[in-house]
Structures are given as structure tokens and as C-alpha cells.
Amino acid sequence: MIKATNITKVFGENTVLKNISASVKQGEVVAVIGPSGSGKSTFLRCLNLLEQPTTGEIFMNEQEITKEKTNKLEVRKHIGMVFQHFHLFPHMTVLENVTYAPIKVKGLSKEEAKKLAKQLLAKVGLTDKLDAYPNRLSGGQKQRVAIARALSMEPEIMLFDEPTSALDPEMVKEVLDVMKDLAHTGMTMVVVTHEMNFAKEVADRVLFLDDGVLVEGGEPESFFNQPQTERAQDFLAKIL
Amino acid sequence: MNLDFSQMVPYIPFMLEGIWVTLKFVSMSILVGFILGTILALCKITKLPILKGLADIYTSIFRGTPLILQLMIFYFAVPQLSGYDTSPFLSAILAFGLNSAAYVSEIIRAGILAVDKGQTEAAEALGVPYKPMMINIILPQAFKNILPALMNEFITLTKESAIVSVIGYLDIMRRAQIVGADIYRNFEPLLFAGVIYWIMVYLLTQLGKLVERRLRHSD
Ligand SMILES: Nc1ncnc2c1ncn2[C@@H]1O[C@H](COP(=O)(O)OP(=O)(O)OP(=O)(O)O)[C@@H](O)[C@H]1O
Ligand SMILES: [Mg+2]
């Protein structure tokens, strides 16, 4: 469904991604893990072209999207993204946050968009907050709205960049549960996370990045039990 | 000290009419300044060097020369060059509007840059094109943050508007001078004009506070 070949990303003098090749199949859940600064976010942001890879290609459904003339907005309509710090629109209510893109980008009518938004907000357990402004919500609630907002475009794939890292511990579960549900409905997902349990339980595959290099990848079972590389062993020893 | 307002009484309606005359061109100037200032601010944040350069030069010129000179150029020099007379009213709107746009554009530019970059990214990630993103997401947040600064600019403009009297525009200030000459007493009409300006600014300040409170509903 989405495939990256030999992606390199350079910021000034700093090569942040080094020759990364990876692919995600339809319905697959891929967890991206690795130390801080290893390039996880940058990799994820290349997938929806928030960052343009310096070299290498990305294909979505066999179409190369890294071409100069690609309509980035068109590509992003099909790729949902959830950020660590939510980035909800603070001057819009929960319902407005979730209906905005369907109305403006997809051209849905207000009624259709509202209907869709209510379904999605029910799915993330927030039917009672439709008219609240984001600042009235807890972190976990905000992130669930952000997930509903990304889903409102009915994307084919969802990217998550450390969706629970900014949350108080007691709110992590409610967000992970929503993500688990989403995975069970067959959504294709790429999740950058420090939640190793989530990676173990939910992911079909784990990618381990270190210093801009895709060091190791595989099924969570084997990756967590028998990491092949020394770098992965070190990393796992530190965090588990 | 012998203040005597009795001689002024017949002139009070004449002076009060000045309020409307002043408000008419001040509000038009604010509108011109606001719209043009927004456009200039958007030019300043684009990646196109030409637009950015032009907007910067514009700002530099209008902020770097006296307003009274700009006013006189629109009133005296433009007709001389073009052969068309510019009325005091039009000259005033042009000078004050274009001048205010330079200041407003700086305020708005700062306001846009102060909006969290994550907002742009969230909009981009949803596939929202540049124009609706600016209009619906970035500018509303920017305006909310800069409202006090904008209000200040409008208040300054209202006060500074008094210099249009030099091109004979019959605003409050000019009327005070005329009345002063008529009754051979200057202090009373000037004092009266001062009170009018003060009340106008006071009301404008209150209006600003009201709008601000309205916008705070999402905080
Ligand atoms: N826009 C940018 N300009 C310059 N350098 C950047 C930029 N974005 C990221 N970097 C650098 O790229 C490297 C990788 O950053 P990235 O955010 O991808 O790491 P990460 O694995 O997501 O880390 P974390 O776990 O802390 O989120 C870091 O050294 C960072 O400083
Ligand atoms: Mg990161």
C-alpha cells in the first residue's frame, strides 16, 4: 500500500535518514521504535510529504508520490496523521474540528459531515463533548478527537507520531484502546511509539530505527524475544 | 483664567458634526489599512522573494516618512502629476489607510508567526489548501492574539487623524480652529474638541475590550 525505497533525508549538514526502505501492506499495523533523535518522526513525516525526502522514492498504491509534480494535498487526503501534541484547532469546537476537513476538502455538505463526525466521535467515546472547545478537554480526550479528525477524511492509512507521549499515564490506555479498535477494523497503521506493549500486542511488524538507519525489522514476537542486532539488543535492554 | 463657553454654544452643532466627518474617514482608513495590511502580511510570509521584497519596501517607506508629508503628497502632489483633483476626503483615506496598512501588516505578520507551527501541519496533513487554511485556521488565531495591538493602532489612527485639518478637511480639529477664529477664543473650542477625541478613544477602547472578551470564549 505504501512503500519507501532508499529514503534519505538531510537537514543542513545532518543526515537524519540513511537509505531507508520499508513497505506497509494493506491492513497492516507497523510500529516504529528507536531511541530519541533516531529519525522516527522524520520517517513518518516523509510518508505524507510533510517532509520531502532528499533522495529516494515513496510509492502509494504503486504511484510514486515523491515526484516533483505530485499534488501533495491530494496525497494527504488519503493519509491521516495524529501528532504527539494533538494540534487540534483551538478556536473550533470538537464537532467543528472533525467536520472542517470533510466540508472544506472533500466537499461534503454540513449535514453529511456532521453525521460522519458524530459516528466517529461515538467510536472514540466522545459523544458528550461535541460542542466543547479543545481547552476544556483532557489530554486523552484531545487525542481521541484528533484521531476522529484524521479519520474524518476516511483515509486509507493512518500515521501516528507518539500519540501517547504527551499524556498523563492514566490517559494512555483510553487512547491505545481506540487505536486497538481501529487496528481491528483493518485500518492500515504506522505508529511511532514508546509503548512496547502496544507494539507487542497490536503490531504486525516492528521497525527499529537507530541513528537514521533501519537497523532491524520483523514480527514483534521474534524482534522482542530474539533481537538480531547488537543495537536492538542494547535498546531493548535499556527500556524493558 | 476666564473660560467662557457661552459664546461657543451656537457652534456646538457645527463641532459635533465633525464627529461624523472624522469617523467617516477614520473608519474607511481603518478598513483600507486592515485589508491591505493583511494582504501585505501574507506577502511577507510567502516564500516568493519578489512579493516579500515589495511588501518590505512598502512598509519601510510608509513607516519611514512623516504621515503629514504623505497626506500632503496625496492632496497636493498627486493632482499636480495626474491632472485629477483628489478631494480632501479621498486624500485622507489614502494617506491614513496606506500608512496604517504598513503598521498593521507588521502586527499581523508577527501574529501569524506566533501561531503554533503544528496548526499548519495539522491542516496540511488533512489536505487543506493554503487559502482556506489561512482564512479559517491561521488568521483567526493570529487575530485573536494581536487584537490588543490592532486596537492600539486604530486608537492611534483616530487621534492622529486630527492632522487632516492641514488639508482643509472639515474634521473635529479643523472645526475647532474655525470656531476659534470666529469667536476670537481658541481655548474653549480646543478643549471641547479634546473632550470629543477623548470620549471617542474611550469608546473605542471599551469596544476593543468587548470584542476581546467575546473571542476569549474558547480559552
Ligand atoms: N526540521 C528540521 N530541521 C533540522 N533538523 C531536524 C529537523 N527535524 C528533525 N531534525 C533532526 O533530525 C533528527 C531526527 O529527528 P526526529 O524528530 O525524526 O527523531 P525522533 O526519532 O522522532 O526522536 P524523538 O523520539 O525525540 O521524537 C534529530 O537530530 C533532529 O534534531
Ligand atoms: Mg519524534
Supply the residue whose CA is at minimum distance from atom 12 of ligand 1: A16
Per residue in A165-212, pLDDT tens? 999 999 999 999 999 999 999 999 999 999 999 999 999 999 999 999
Bridge-partner residues for A205, per DSSP? A30
| Residue contacts between A and B (CB atoms, under 8 Å) | 62
Which of B47, B126, B216 to mutate to test binding with chain A, by most A CBs within 10 Å of its CB? Answer: B126
Which residue of A33, A42, A43, A85 sits with most ligand 1 atoms within 8 Å of its CB, as the best mutation to test the pocket? A42
Cβ-proximal residues to B131 (8 Å cutoff; 6+ apart), any chain = none
User: Which pLDDT score is estimated for B217?
Assistant: 66
C-alpha cell at position A218: 520483523
User: Which pLDDT score is estimated for B83?
Assistant: 84
Query: Is the four-CA dihedral B24, B26, B30, B32 of positive or negative sign?
Result: positive
Domain ranges across chain B: 9-217
Residues of chain B scoring pLDDT < 70 = 1, 217-219
Residues of chain A with Cβ-Cβ distance to B219 below 8 Å are: 135
Residues of chain A with Cβ-Cβ distance to B217 below 8 Å are: 133
Distances (CA, A) of B212 to B112, B157, B215: 18, 20, 5
CA A217 to chain centre: 18
User: Which pLDDT score is estimated for B47?
Assistant: 87
CA B19 to chain centre: 16
Instruction: Name the DSSP class of A32.
Output: E
Look at residues B157, B176, B156, B174 and name the one whose alpha carbon lies nearest to residue B165: B174
Cell 500486542 -> residue: A201
Q: CATH number for B9-217: choose from 1.20.1250.20, 3.40.50.1100, 1.10.3720.10, 1.10.760.10.
A: 1.10.3720.10
Supply the residue whose CA is at minimum distance from atom 16 of ligand 1: A39
Which of A82, A104, A108, A137 to mutate to test binding with chain B, by most B CBs within 10 Å of its CB? Answer: A104
What burial letters (b/e) apply to A188-201, b meaning 16+ CB within 10 Å? bbbbbbebbebbee
Instruction: Point out the residue among B119, B121, B124 whose CB comes nearest to the CB of A89.
Output: B119
What distance in angstroms lies between residue A42's CA and the mean position of ligand 1's atoms? Answer: 6
- Which residue on chain B is closest to A44 by alpha carbon? B125
Per residue in B133-151, pLDDT tens? 999 999 999 998 899 999 9
C-alpha cell at position A8: 534519505
Q: CB within 6 Å of ligand 1 — which residues?
A: A 11, 14, 16, 34, 36-42
Ligand 2 ion: Cβ-proximal residues, 5 Å cutoff: A 41
Give the separation between CA A44 and CA A161, rounded to whole angstroms: 7
Evaluate whether A93 touches A133 at the Cβ level (below 8 Å).
yes
Is the whole model's pTM more than 0.95, yes or no? no
Give the separation between CA A152 and CA A161, rounded to whole angstroms: 18
Residues of chain A with Cβ-Cβ distance to B116 below 8 Å are: 87
Instruction: Point out the residue among A77, A87, A91 whose CB comes nearest to the CB of B122.
Output: A87
Cell 510570509 -> residue: B45
Mean pLDDT per 10-residue interval, chain A, length 240 residues = 94 95 95 95 96 95 90 94 96 96 96 96 94 94 97 96 94 95 96 93 95 93 92 89
